Amino acid sequence: MGISPRAIPGQKGGIFWTTGDEHDEYGHITEAADIRIKMMRKRMRKIELAGQVIPDSKKATLHGPSSSRITLVGWGSSKGAILDGMEDLKSDGIETNFLQVRFVNPFPTDYVQQVLGSARRKIAIENNYSAQMAGLIREKTGIGMDNTIVKFDGRPFSQNEIYEGVKDIIKNGMKEVTVSHA
């Protein structure tokens, strides 16, 4: 049981049918426990295969010099604000780099360990209350963040919030910084 052929939405002559319920390899809904077990094992093999064929450079990207003393860690929509904030920090003589995690599963464990293992200070920047990616990184690598900058008011980070958050951590010794548009 390998990877079943799949129609892509918009594919000419294809039908894309999706459901949140368990289904067999033909897409037919089922509640049979044996099929559920079979399909879950199939999904897990797909993830394992993806981990082998997708290069780490696609799963996570290090932006900026690897020799930076401060590594910012983020994912998703915070990328632009982080990259822009890094430029402002650099203008103030604070050199940083940015580990952008792009895959959660399969997680780029070895690459993240390599990058964060050489980082002197690790700052997680996340658009959620509990710094979820930082928790996942700790779970997968055993490496914890030194500091966090979080924003959970439903709005994206701004360049200035990244800049000010990092400055608060460096200058004022803050462990956690919460920013808000409000």
Mean pLDDT of 119-143: 98
pLDDT at 119: 96
Terminal alpha carbon distance of the chain = 53
pLDDT at 181: 81
| % of residues, the chain, pLDDT over 90 | 83
pLDDT at 10: 87
Kindly list the structural domains of the chain, giving each domain's residue range(s) and its CATH number in brackets, ordered by start. 1-53 (no CATH), 57-178 (3.40.50.920)
- Helix (H) or strand (E) holding 150, with range, is strand 147-150
- Contact between 103 and 60 (Cβ < 8 Å): yes
26 — pLDDT class (breaks 50, 70, 90): confident
Would you call 15 helix, strand, or coil by DSSP? coil
